Structure 1
Amino acid sequence: MRLQAIVRGTVAAAAIAASVLLTGATPTPSPTPTPPIPDDPSDPVRALEYWLDGAGIREAWQTTRGEGVTIAVIDTGIGRIPTVFGDAVVGGTDVSGSGSPDGRSPVGAVDGDHGSWVASLAAARGKADGSGMIGVAPEADLLSVSIGFGAAASVPFVDQVADGIRWAVDNGADIINMSFTTNTLDWDQRWDDAFLYAYEHDVVVVVAAGNRGSGTSMVGAPATIPGVLTVGGVDQTGTASVEASTQGITIGISAPSEGLLGVSADGSLASWRGTSGAAPIVAGTAALVRSAHPELDAANVINRIIETALPVPGVTDVPDPLYGYGLLDADAAVSASVPPVDANPMGDLAEWVRLYRRADAAPAPEPESTPVDVEPLPPADPPSTAGSPLIPSAESLRYGTLPLIMLSVPGILFGLGVTAAARRIRSARKPSTPAA
């Protein structure tokens, strides 16, 4: 089993790690086998690359090594290391505003080596004698698109990513690898068009799920964008990594993320971990699939990778939030018979945008009004003859004087009656005087 191969590779790696680190439906047509590649499994560095056997990569090399496929690495730049990349890097650009025009100068004091580590896992050439670090697709071409994280760039990050994707597509990328996360589920709307642009041009987009050890408890964008192949991480035994991976329903495949090797921008060998390294292992596998089956579109390349994944013991429902569809099996992805699909199994971004993004409101139509004929008003009454305001008129007598008299007279009479009654009462109470 592939898991047993992983364990065997781990034991061999542990035995020599110290010395190395101290020194630096319709069956798919079967591809034509390729000549043997210079590969010395007993080389100390190659022995540390346990994933070459554990993920079936050495077996896949019997069929293809990625020739004719281009992988764009959108990261901190691929260092100029002739002994590692040779003529692998066929183009590049900087979208950070801080790197060199060819995208090869490391961007960022902290993360400057990150892009070189990623690229070496995907497509390092290895030495002619079969020693030294070798990538998953050692005959694939590379594009170096340098970006900067945080203060390492003068351009907003969302713009860097969008510009980098478009440049990669326009310059021949068949696969785009993005080993970073934003730690948020949502993403800027500017990424909608950029990722759709990649999909419309038949590009496979591979992204890292993120790492708990770096504060990512759940997958974040771009790993949440429909259509991307999100990669989770496992340790040397095929168990989901606690620190060097995360979880989420968008994970599609799992690959080694612990005990990894990478070549730094200065050519030195580094030990590292994280789904940043698991992603280029999968991107390299996608290059092997595209090289062996150039007739397949991006959706079917992704489908072959997830459909041929090794099942994880104890996991019954897929995709699983830790493992996705299972563990990467590069040999099966290249050689197995897999029925074709009509749509990307990782989702449809165009449909998502249609459902969840508010479309620009169209201008409200101008209301149409129909003129209405209105009958003319009757002529106004002629003005009355002007008179003195001191002389009462018939109208003032009718509506003013007469009502006033009618209301006032009873009141006056009532008041006089009350007064007379009061006088009589007082007279009756006054005592009489005796006669003299």
Structure 2
Amino acid sequence: MTRATARLRRTASALLAMTLAGASLVTGLAVAPAARADAERDKQYWLAESGITKAWEVSKGAGVKVAVIDSGVDGQHPDLKGAVTGGFDASGAGNPDGQKSIGGKPEHGTLVATMLAGRGHQPASSTASPSPAPSGAGPDGMVGVAPEAQILSVSTWLGSANPAGKSDQDQIPEAVRWAVDNGAKVINISLGSTTPQWPQSWDAAFLYAEQKDVVIVAAAGNRVGGNIQVGAPATIPGVLTVAGLDRKGVASVDSSSQGISIGVAAPAENLLGGLPGGGYAEWAGTSGATPIVAGVAALIRSKWPEMSAKQVINRIVTTAKDAGAKGKDPLYGFGVLNAEAALKDSVPETGSNPLGSISDWIRVHRRGNLSTPAPVPTTDIPSAVPTLPEATVPAAKAPSQRDTAFGAAVVIGFAVLFVVIIAAAVFQLRRAARNPRLAHEEPDTGVLDTVDSGGKT
């Protein structure tokens, strides 16, 4: 959704630098300064500010599978070793296990996954000072919001032409169905489009996830990428849509869009994520805010395994800190994420998903099989008919040849214009049929700022 830019620092590993250059991330090189072993951990301000470190006192996400539908997740990243327990390629162009980084922004899936379920790693030197981390997480590198959750990597090819020929109309529903069938209790979708509509081919897959009680969390999109309004799939009823905050905790001017479907807001600027092959990047966008919220959903589902998806979503939005206009608004949704409250507060149960239901939407908007209601009979009220004066009929006048020729020219002109319009419409429809991608359908990458080799083992 945004056009990513990057300024690379020269890494200690020539292999990493070549890999990133081959992935079209390099726009400039600089020498990386020496960094403390826990520098990456220090940059994860959202862990404390969003109440996540306090939420770890209750849950760390153990036993919950989270599907990351994205560009593929590098399960060999130092901070993800042991975290990626399964995967699938929905694009036809990746590896069967979904761990090959593909598409227009191949780094995107690993950035997302490290924020969601990174586990850190052991330092190369035993003299490094440890940083605060949940038990079981390594002291160096990134620790995700749900460090004990399991990642299912579902790779899709978005952001450029898929060499396998599969469109997003096929990839997205296939990815969602696979995730549901393979035990995902939470699905993270950090991608979107500039249109609120979605293909009808997606209906059944999102309905299937709803029926199987799966929480789907999606990115709202970024203004800097042209997404002023929230685009699909974040507009699908029942999906927990995440808006972005800047470093001051207010709605981000660049890294968030707005819309009535937004459920909650989370940090989206000055973020840090892991890169395929090792190393890290600072980035921005609701792509990064989404795994923060999806991670909290995993914490809740680990703490209360029997809690329904609608109750999980309700718990997250009900405990959010109100921001912006009082109550729900198009910038913050129900408010700013508060992970501690979501895990510790007493929240009344709800009878429905506060963000709607795809089942209800389909019943109303895809009504092909519904019977048309009979017209309501009306009772005519008689009224007096006024007496009208007798009309004077003017004598008819035969048209002149000039008038006839002019009228014929007008008729022919309108006919030609009508034919041209119809031909143009048919051309556009045929063109759309050959290339059925959604407008600007691609990962919601945000902006990559810096890359280094910290944490590579």
On the 8 A contact 1:218/1:246 being kept in 2, the answer is yes
Q: Deviations over 1:16-46 (max 9, x none)?
A: xxx997468xxxxxxxxxxxxxxx9x93211
Match of 2:94, SS state, is coil
* In 2, Cα distance between equivalents of 1:20 and 1:326: 41
**TM-score, with length taken from structure 1:** 0.72
Other-structure match for 2:157: 148
| Closer/same/farther in 2, CA of residues 360 and 132 from structure 1, 3 Å limit | same
Other-structure match for 1:63: 58
Q: Residue 118 of structure 2 aligns to which amino acid in structure 1?
A: A
Q: Deviations over 1:289-327 (max 9, x none)?
A: 111111211000000000000122x521x2210001111
Q: Residue 53 of structure 2 aligns to which amino acid in structure 1?
A: R
Deviation at 1:97, TM superposition (A): 1.1
Give the counterpart of 2:349 among 335, 340, 345.
340
* In 2, Cα distance between equivalents of 1:21 and 1:199: 46
Q: Deviations over 1:235-282 (max 9, x none)?
A: 111110011101001000000000000101111110100000000000
Other-structure match for 2:109: 115
Other-structure match for 1:293: 304
Other-structure match for 2:43: 48
- Report whether the alignment pairs 1:132 with 2:127: no
Other-structure match for 1:323: 332
| Closer/same/farther in 2, CA of residues 85 and 357 from structure 1, 3 Å limit | same
Q: Residue 46 of structure 1 aligns to which amino acid in structure 2?
A: R
Other-structure match for 1:263: 274
Other-structure match for 1:272: 283
Aligned ranges for residues 369-408 of structure 1 at < 5 Å? none
* In 2, Cα distance between equivalents of 1:43 and 1:144: 27
Match of 1:233, SS state, is strand
* In 2, Cα distance between equivalents of 1:285 and 1:204: 11
| Closer/same/farther in 2, CA of residues 324 and 20 from structure 1, 3 Å limit | farther
Q: Residue 102 of structure 1 aligns to which amino acid in structure 2?
A: D
Give the counterpart of 1:106 among 101, 104, 117.
101
Q: Deviations over 1:370-409 (max 9, x none)?
A: xxxxxxxxxxxxxxxxxxxxxxxxxxxxxxxxxxxxxxxx
Match of 2:120, SS state, is coil
| Closer/same/farther in 2, CA of residues 335 and 189 from structure 1, 3 Å limit | same
* In 2, Cα distance between equivalents of 1:285 and 1:80: 21
Match of 1:306, SS state, is helix
On the 8 A contact 1:21/1:269 being kept in 2, the answer is no
Other-structure match for 1:209: 220
On the 8 A contact 1:175/1:206 being kept in 2, the answer is yes
Match of 1:145, SS state, is strand
Unaligned stretches of 5+ residues in structure 2: 1-29, 123-137, 372-457
Match of 1:80, SS state, is coil
On the 8 A contact 1:20/1:44 being kept in 2, the answer is no
* In 2, Cα distance between equivalents of 1:308 and 1:351: 25
* In 1, Cα distance between equivalents of 2:31 and 2:273: 13
Deviation at 1:330, TM superposition (A): 0.7
| Closer/same/farther in 2, CA of residues 20 and 349 from structure 1, 3 Å limit | farther
Other-structure match for 2:238: 227
On the 8 A contact 1:252/1:306 being kept in 2, the answer is yes
Deviation at 1:338, TM superposition (A): 0.2
Q: Residue 121 of structure 1 aligns to which amino acid in structure 2?
A: M
- Report whether the alignment pairs 1:96 with 2:56: no
Aligned ranges for residues 189-208 of structure 1 at < 5 Å? 189-208=200-219
* In 2, Cα distance between equivalents of 1:339 and 1:200: 22
Structure 1 or 2, whichever has the larger Rg, is 1
Unaligned stretches of 5+ residues in structure 1: 1-18, 25-39, 363-436
Percent identity over paired residues: 50
* In 2, Cα distance between equivalents of 1:141 and 1:245: 28
Match of 2:317, SS state, is helix
Q: Residue 149 of structure 2 aligns to which amino acid in structure 1?
A: A
Q: Residue 326 of structure 1 aligns to which amino acid in structure 2?
A: G
On the 8 A contact 1:305/1:328 being kept in 2, the answer is yes
Q: Residue 353 of structure 1 aligns to which amino acid in structure 2?
A: I
Between stretches 88-97 and 352-361, larger displacement belongs to: 352-361
More strand by share: 2
Other-structure match for 2:183: 172
Match of 2:258, SS state, is coil
* In 1, Cα distance between equivalents of 2:77 and 2:205: 32
On the 8 A contact 1:227/1:344 being kept in 2, the answer is yes
More helix by share: 1
Deviation at 1:167, TM superposition (A): 0.3
Other-structure match for 2:394: none
On the 8 A contact 2:77/2:275 being kept in 1, the answer is no
Match of 1:104, SS state, is coil
Q: Deviations over 1:327-352 (max 9, x none)?
A: 11111101110001121111011111
* In 1, Cα distance between equivalents of 2:75 and 2:350: 40
* In 2, Cα distance between equivalents of 1:269 and 1:78: 14
* In 2, Cα distance between equivalents of 1:123 and 1:22: 27
Give the counterpart of 1:183 among 191, 194, 197.
194
Deviation at 1:52, TM superposition (A): 0.4
Q: Deviations over 1:192-227 (max 9, x none)?
A: 110010011110000000001111110011011000
On the 8 A contact 2:77/2:274 being kept in 1, the answer is no
On the 8 A contact 1:21/1:270 being kept in 2, the answer is no
On the 8 A contact 2:75/2:82 being kept in 1, the answer is no
| Closer/same/farther in 2, CA of residues 233 and 21 from structure 1, 3 Å limit | farther
On the 8 A contact 1:20/1:45 being kept in 2, the answer is no
* In 1, Cα distance between equivalents of 2:142 and 2:47: 11
